[in-house]
Amino acid sequence: MFSPVILITAILNGLLTGAVYALVALGLTLIYGVLHIINFAHGALLSAALFAAFFAFHLLGLDPYLAALLLAPIFFGLGYAIQRLIISPASHGDDRNMLLVTLGLSVVIENALLYAFRADTRTIDLPYAFQTIDLGFTFLPIPRLIGFCVVFAVALVLWAIMRRTDVGKAIRAVAKEKLGAQLAGIEVSHVYAVTFGLGTACVAIAACLLIPTFYVNPSVGEAFVLIAFTIVVLGGMGSVPGALVGGLVIGVVESLSGLFLGESLGQIGIFLIFIAVLLVRPTGLFGARA
Amino acid sequence: MRGLLPIAVVVAALAAVPLVVQSNTTLNFLVVTLLIALAGQGWNILGGYGGQYSFGHAAFFGTGAYVTAILQVRYGVNAWLAFGAGIVIGAAVGGIIGALTFRARLRGSYFALVSLAFAEVLRIVASVAPITGAGVGTLVKLDLRVEALQFQSRAAFFWVVLALVAISLLVAQRLERSRFGTWLIAVRENEDAAKALGVNATQVKLCAMMISAAITAAAGCFYTQYFLFVDSGIAFGTRMSIEALLTPIIGGAGTVFGPLLGALVVQAVGEGAKLVAGDAPGLSLIVYGCILILVIAFAPRGLIGLVETSRRRVARPAKREAAHG
């Protein structure tokens, strides 16, 4: 079989990739936890953010890690506007309609990108993209290590926002008891839009972490969104720690099944976990509400 | 009998079209429209009447398409038999997915997600398995004989797909008037209440899923016979899942004619967009996505619902006047 060094390397790589998956899933689970909708446009927004990071580097010469500071607020605003101006008025508060509206949005965004930039796959060249750290028995790519650390920093910031600020309190109140929050004077539609904005900002940061070692094309987000759904379901819908742990687990699963089954079948491992979790334990490992 | 007359009129009117129109482009457009209407009618049975929104109906479309192709190409089965087998196996796949998901009590967004995941698993398997021709796809040999279910003229293909659509309209119409249909609608409106009244919700949904899968699989079988080629992206790709749900929602989910009307509108607008902006990748889907959002925003019951509402608005003042007079 495989030597322990290869296995450990695969696991470490899986953890590094999984952290970025976790960040995408964090945005999704946040939106689900408060609005109780599955945001099908999440993947398309990730594609859009990857293109934004790509052009920030190409046209403005902006380093992706700096671009994150710029793109996060821009995508926060974009997410806020999408929820406030499109999803909320179009869906009339009906769950099934929200599902369809986000699906419609994802179709529009993804194909608008396809229309504008064609199906070409693009990458950026960074001087440090292939630098590695020598651990003695294996090497780890530096950009992905940075990504790993940033993800946990973002999670910490999110946690602080939720626990320590008035907005966070309002979000938690709405998530728990919408009507009660409304009676207490919280503007629910504003809170919804802020949450959607935060989720979208997570996607923008994830895109900036991905772009140094990854590629971008109009449908790249689709692959991520199914993985993100899997993570969210695995960790329990709406659970933030669940998304983090789920992301790491899925990263390792993908890495190992890629090692054992080959690249194209590696993805199947993820979907099978997804279906199995949904069928056997739809509340996820962390047992949040169904 | 009352509901049968409109179906007969619509089908007869459509059947007369090839007698008047000779243009191959127009007929091709109509064949594709009816194909999508058929796939959409399948979605409509489960999604429109049963309220279970599937985001992965491509699973059934693709099963029908691949079974029809593989049985002919690899096992030398007659095309008509392969066509029938495609429908039956499509229904069986629907039964398996339905049994798994409905027993696990997946509803709403969870059901949408898991149906999408099943379609994706099938797509990945089809793109690597040798029996499906893996990445290359499967080509059916050109053999323009009626025995091979291939025709010289497009008109004949048109009548075949029209016959399938007619059957699907009858199925929807029968469903509306049957006890089973009432159960199904009760499950859509309030599953817990329906259960409390003694409706076996799981079984009703499972049945609806199998009928739904069979109809959408028939669309897949026809696709193979018409285009003589199928690959994993066409068969199990998200585009088909989206088109299958788009047409009934735009036309009017849970109505007999909704999918047909929706398919006509969607295809016409898609072609119109091509004329205006040229045939660019992604363009038609941008338009579809916008229509979907607009319809949900302004006509939540689809175009048929829109017509009914405006008709009532016209009718009501007239009644009031009559009462005064």
Q: Give chain A's domain count.
A: 1
Is the Cβ pair A279, B117 closer than 8 Å? Answer: no
**For residue A257, what are its two tokens?**
């099944």
ipTM above 0.90, yes or no: no
Contact by Cβ (8 Å): A215, A122: yes
| pLDDT score recorded for residue A290 | 39
The Cα A21–Cα A144 span in angstroms is 12
Strand partners, B229: B139
Q: Is residue A278 part of a domain?
A: no
Strand partners, A139: A134
| pLDDT score recorded for residue A289 | 45
Q: What is the mean pLDDT of residues A209-222?
A: 87
Amino acid at A223: A
Q: Is residue A288 part of a domain?
A: no
Of the partner residues A112, A119, A229, the one whose CB lies closest to the CB of residue B286: A112
Written out in words, the top-level CATH class of the domain with range B4-324 is mainly alpha
DSSP string, A147-214: HHHHHHHHHHHHHHHHHHSHHHHHHHHHHH-HHHHHHTT--HHHHHHHHHHHHHHHHHHHHHHHTTTS
Is the Cβ pair A279, B51 closer than 8 Å? Answer: no
| pLDDT score recorded for residue B320 | 52
Of the partner residues A86, A108, A115, the one whose CB lies closest to the CB of residue B281: A115
d(CA A264, nearest CA chain B) in Å: 8
Strand partners, A134: A139
Contact by Cβ (8 Å): A126, A64: yes
Strand partners, A132: A141
Element (H, E) at B165: helix B154-177
Q: Is residue A12 part of a domain?
A: no
Q: What are the 10-residue block averages of pLDDT along chain B, 325 residues in total?
A: 85 92 90 96 96 94 96 93 97 95 83 88 89 86 87 91 96 94 93 91 95 97 95 91 92 94 92 82 87 91 87 67 50
DSSP string, B168-231: HHHHHHHHHHSHHHHHHHHHHH-HHHHHHTT--HHHHHHHHHHHHHHHHHHHHHHHHHHHSEE-
Amino acid at A168: G
Nearest C-alpha neighbor of A207 from the set A23, A13, A18: A23
Q: Where are the domains of chain B?
A: 4-324
Give pLDDT tens digits for B158-206. 999 999 999 999 999 999 999 999 999 999 999 999 999 999 999 999 9
Examine the pLDDT at A248 and tell me if it is beyond 80: yes
Amino acid at B80: W
Give pLDDT tens digits for A33-51. 888 888 889 999 999 999 9
Of the partner residues A86, A99, A282, the one whose CB lies closest to the CB of residue B53: A99
Lowest mean pLDDT among A3-12, A261-270, B6-15, B260-269: A261-270
> Residue A211 class from Cβ within 10 Å (0-12 exposed, 13-18 middle, 19+ buried)?
buried
> Residue A100 class from Cβ within 10 Å (0-12 exposed, 13-18 middle, 19+ buried)?
buried
| B51 has a chain A CB within 8 A of its CB | yes
Contacts of A104 in chain B (CB under 8 A): 289-290, 292-293, 296
Q: Is residue A47 part of a domain?
A: yes
Global pTM value: 0.88
Examine the pLDDT at A63 and tell me if it is beyond 80: yes
pLDDT band at A264 (very low <50, low <70, confident <90, very high): low
The Cα A167–Cα B252 span in angstroms is 40
Give pLDDT tens digits for B202-249. 999 999 999 999 999 999 999 999 999 999 989 998 889 999 999 999
**For residue A180, what are its two tokens?**
């009660």
User: Which structural domain, as residue segments, surrounds residue A169?
Assistant: 24-219
CA dihedral A251, A257, A258, A262 (to 10 degrees): -170
Q: Is residue A108 part of a domain?
A: yes
